[in-house]
Structure 1
Amino acid sequence: MLSAALTGVALADLAASRRTIEAERRVENPLSLGEENPVRLAFRCHGAPVTLEVCDDLPLHLEPAGEWPVVRLEEGAWVEVGYRVRPGRRGRYAIGPLHGRYRSRLGLWNRMITWPITDEVRVYPNLLAVRQYEVAMRQGRQMEGLKRARLRGAGTEFESLREYQEGDEFRAINWPATARRGSLVTNLYQVDRSQPIMLLVDAGRLMIPQIQGLSRLDYVLNAAMLLATVAAERGDQVGLMLFGGEVKAFVPPRKGRRQVMAMLESLYDLQPEQVEPDYGRMLGWFAARHRRRSLLVLFTDLVDPEINRGLTAHLSALAARHLVLVVTLTDPALLALSRCIPENAQQAYEKATALEVLAQRAETRARLQRSGVLVIDVPPSSFSAAVVNQYLQIKEQGRL
């Protein structure tokens, strides 16, 4: 009798636990690589109040950042909760069904619910830095890490005269006007706009190694997109070429924000390949299609001495017509090894290897600089800002 009674109570509890619960999902699209992107969930319960535990069916490379949400639902009211997802790889993904679980009133049962909601999402390079820059520009502020470039006095076409101000370049002083007025007078120039900026991105084997959870190529694309946004906002034409053993994607230089989106669409799902970068083929392909003097920003690595020698020869020839900037990423782990105090033979060997690699990089940087090539070699923490600041300095100095 007791067993039958308990069974009856349990079945009654199960029957009473039935609820109709509506669910919706809103996910930001595209997502930004390596960042915590918000996902919003909304629920409405038709029936007695319940406490609902929920989770999404996330694909590989999309990981929840933190705990799954728990939400208390009252009858008839929409309740919104959220969580954050951190993508570990660029590309296109499908978020599968949404799952929920709640306990019966007596706690004897867990009832599972699945809502057949699916969302296609794209994971782009890190766009949060781009958005922060755009917000700062709208609010008249300067994005943290970026230097303020003077937009006047940096071009080549004369605009007007004004009184000398602290920080004006000596070469900008107009000496005849200074003599007439009896005080220093400076020439102002219109900023050169609509200049071609070409981003050349190595997507070969050198860009596969990971640094702090992201591949070298991921860091490069994050920086390239911020640079493209800044250059487009300042009226320059921006183009893109991705290459490995051959040219993988090419977006000719054009002006405007739409150009930045075209670049994003061409590269967001491309991954580095196990091939040697063919600098000669890439630069020859580019030179045959683009002869106007441009700023060429080459994102690559300087880890292989033999490859570096060939790179220097190709860029030396290119620097006769174009302004060339080579951008490479320093691994913080390599720097840490070079500075450590060895406690055993293994650590001594690792330090010696790190010092040798850094010395080879320094030698390649010096060789490139002697050939008239600008070089940036910085760690991830300052990578994007260093690239954009170099561009702003080039524009300010009128070097194009």
Structure 2
Amino acid sequence: MAKLIDKIYIDVFPGKWLFIAIAFCAVLFLLSFFFTWLGDLPYLALGALILLVMLDLVLLYGTKTGIFLRRHLPERLSNGDDNELSIYIENFYNFPVSVGIIDEIPFQFQRRDIWFKTALPSRRNKTISYTLRPVKRGEYNFGQVRVYINSPLGLVARRFNFEGQKMVKVYPSFLHLRKYELMAISNRINEIGIKKIRRIGHSMEFDQVKNYVPGDDYRTLNWKATARRGELMVNSYTDEKAQHVYCVIDKSRVMKMPFEGMSLLDYAINASLVLSNIALVKDDKAGLITVAETIGSILPSDRKPAQLGKMAELLYKEKTRYLETNMEALYLSIRSTLKQRSLVVFFTNFESMSALNRQLPFLKRIAKFHLLLLVFFENTELKTLTETPAADVEGIYVKTIAEKFAYEKKLMVKELAKHGIMSVLSPPDQLNVNVINRYLAIKAQQKI
């Protein structure tokens, strides 16, 4: 009995109708001082209220397990995407109940509106779905799910606690990764902005000899096979495979800049995984290097199915640093790790020409031995300023400075091309498409 009283003391909360009833009784007691004819009516009302509260408690605590709840969490969350979660709840009471649900989501979301109010008939169940969009990678801790149950009387509410603490990892955007992979496999990637690249000539990697069908290149006719079979036969060629593609991700302070809640580092990590996945689909080998003031993670290129999982596991905890990139360490690491000519896709950022010139000698050294593709970001806020008409002298000054910085970004592309270094200048939200387009163009032109 003592335990039940303790539980009632902890898990019972007054409902709104209880406050209304108490206020009504208080008014009756106040009026009884002025109107003696009310007699014992206030005491009768108070006694009735106490009896109703006791009845409500009996209804709520008459069943040991009146409510069952289960929260469905994915094994991992996708960074920057809307992830669907759901709560399954079932009513074991013999009467309909009003339900209030509070889900204690991780503090990283900074949301206080995960509160659901619903009605649940007797012996029925319901599933409530909602979405969460993380903008940082790492470990997220979910708390308890607290459920508040009201009987039809609605005087008090009983609290139930479910689930308890659970940690879920937030990985780089694997939802985008799946989308691009499916598009690449089904040859529908042009639907999401990825261009079909016209090939110059064809790859010289032989695949098979097959029967001629209308549309085949007549220059690939195999005359010996044709003579033996008595019908036209052609040589079939395929893309060169097992080429090495390395994504190098800069984690220095230049990647801290935010865009739509995510840092440039998050966009670079998402794009590197998407690009690596497309490379694996094309039977190339994908590898990874991260760098800041020191070399971080190094994953040698491979095309095994588990390679992408290894990359995601390495990247989900990566954070931006506060020092400049050590380009000399990066150059030495690339020279020691990459034993043959590879496509090196370097995700970084430059805001001024002087910043590029500091790193240019090392970029030229890397480009001497490998095919270097430098990916950096267009400042969309500056672009907005340049396109907005100036309303006063201050606006003209701000617009002039913005145009100067925007022009410097274009000069960087020309400066890199002058030294034989390819580049991609992209807004963060279009990074995936622009990087894949450039990779497919490089494959089509057989530059690796």
Moved more, 357-366 or 289-298: 357-366
After superposition, residues 150-165 of structure 1 pair within 5 angstroms as 154-158=202-206
* 1:388 equivalent in structure 2: 436
The one-letter amino acid paired with 1:328 is: F
Q: Which residue of 2 aligns with 1:8?
A: 51
Which consecutive unaligned segments of at least 5 residues does structure 1 have?
Answer: 178-185
8 Å contact kept, 2:254–2:348: yes
| 1:23 is aligned to 2:69 | yes
Shift of the alpha carbon at 1:134? Answer: 3.2
Matched, 1:129 2:172: no
Provide the C-alpha distance between the structure 2 equivalents of 1:103 and 1:116, rounded to a whole number of angstroms: 21
Partners of 1:330 and 1:315 in 2: how far apart?
20
Structure 1 pair 248/223, CA: closer, same or farther in 2 (3 Å)? same
Tell me how far 1:191 sits from its aligned partner: 1.1
Q: Distance in 2 between matches of 1:101 and 1:152?
A: 68
Using structure 2 for the length normalisation, give the TM-score: 0.79
Quick one: which of 200, 204, 227 aligns to 2:252? 204
Moved more, 365-374 or 95-104: 95-104
Cα distance in 1 between the residues matched to 2:205 and 2:300: 26
Deviation at 1:225, TM superposition (A): 0.8
Kindly indicate whether residue 99 of structure 2 is the aligned counterpart of residue 56 of structure 1: no
Q: TM-score, normalised by structure 1?
A: 0.88
Please give the residue correspondences for 1:1-400 in structure 2 after superposition, counting only pairs within 5 Å: 1=43, 2-18=45-61, 20-47=66-93, 48-62=95-109, 68-137=115-184, 141-142=188-189, 144-148=192-196, 154-158=202-206, 189-400=237-448
1:121-153 alpha-carbon deviations (Å, 9 max, x no partner): 111112221121233356564352223457996
Match of 2:24 in 1: none
AA in 2 matched with 1:107: G
Question: Structure 1 residue 63: deviation in Å?
Answer: 5.4
3-state SS of paired residue (2:107)? coil
The one-letter amino acid of 1:32's match is: S
- Corresponding residue SS for 2:368: coil
Instruction: State the one-letter code of the partner of 1:386.
Output: N
Does the CA contact (< 8 Å) of 1:294 and 1:323 recur in 2? yes
Per-residue CA deviation, residues 155-198 of structure 1 (Å, 9 max, x unaligned), is: 233557979969x9xxx9679x9xxxxxxxx9863311011001
Distance of aligned partners of 1:213 and 1:14 in 2 relative to their CA distance in 1, 3 Å threshold = same
The residue identity in structure 1 corresponding to 2:106 is P
Deviation of the 1:261 alpha carbon: 0.7
Alpha-carbon offset, residue 64 of structure 1: 5.9
Code of the aligned partner of 2:427: P
Q: Is this contact kept in 2: 1:203–1:243, CA < 8 A?
A: yes
Structure 1 position 72, deviation (Å)? 3.4
Q: Which moved more, 1:100-109 or 1:278-287?
A: 100-109
Answer yes or no: is the 8 Å Cα contact 2:199–2:445 preserved in 1. Answer: no
Q: Note if contact 1:152-1:188 (Cα within 8 Å) is conserved in structure 2.
A: no
Higher helix share: 2
> Quick one: distance in 2 between partners of 1:340 and 1:60?
37
Contact 1:65–1:86 under 8 Å retained in 2:
no
Taking structure 1 as reference, are residues 349 and 113 closer, same or farther at Cα in structure 2, changes over 3 Å only? farther
Corresponding pairs, count: 389
Deviation at 1:67, TM superposition (A): 5.8
Report the AA paired with residue 110 of structure 1.
A
Q: Is contact 1:173–1:187 with CA below 8 Å preserved after alignment?
A: no
Question: Are the counterparts in 1 of residues 97 and 149 from structure 2 also a CA contact under 8 Å?
Answer: yes
Q: Percent identity?
A: 25
SS in 2 for 1:284: helix
Which SS does the other structure have where 2:86 is aligned? strand
Q: Which runs of 5+ in 2 are unaligned?
A: 1-42, 224-233
